[in-house]
Each structure stands twice: as C-alpha cells, then as structure tokens.
Structure 1
Amino acid sequence: MARYDLSDEEWQMVEPLLPRPGKGKHRVDDRRVVNGIFYVLRTGAPWRDLP
C-alpha cells in the first residue's frame, strides 16, 4: 500500500457507496481507481501522469 492509499477501515466505509457491477466491461479494481482519484486531487497531477 502506498503512503496515502485508503486504509482497510476507510475502504470499508467507501466501498458500499460505489455502484454495483452491472452490464458491460468487468471492473478490475475499484480500490485502485479510488486511490488514483484521491492522488490526483491531492497532488494536482494530470491523469496522464499517473503510474
């Protein structure tokens, strides 16, 4: 886990708020996407600069 990623306790609060998977492409890792969103918001980095 990276320095500012959501802890397990934080993730347990956020996960129920996400939409349930439906039709369409299978989502691989919602937690990784949410951590990426928070990283961009915190640092101001452009999306294309995400690792």
Structure 2
Amino acid sequence: MLPDYRYQNRSIVVLKDGLYICDSHYKRDDYDENVWSFQRFDLVKKK
C-alpha cells in the first residue's frame, strides 16, 4: 500500500507516539547516504 521506492520496509521503529518508517530509500532522487530520516505514522484502531 506504500509507494514504491519511498520507504525502507526493513527500517521500522514503533514508539508510544506512532510508527516510524525510514524514508531514505536509495532509489529516491533526493537520496543522501549521509542522512537516515524517518516519517511518523499515527496508529489508529480500526472500527
């Protein structure tokens, strides 16, 4: 469900404030091997 070459599915961290997935994929145009960034996803309970 996530876009291709946007996230690294092996670099995931779960914390109290959300789910963090690494968005430093090597096939991105703006990839920088010196930066390892994460994007936070809010976890919500599905009804």
Common topology (TM > 0.5): no
TM (norm. structure 1) is 0.26
TM (norm. structure 2) is 0.27
Q: Which structure has the highest helix share of the two?
A: 1
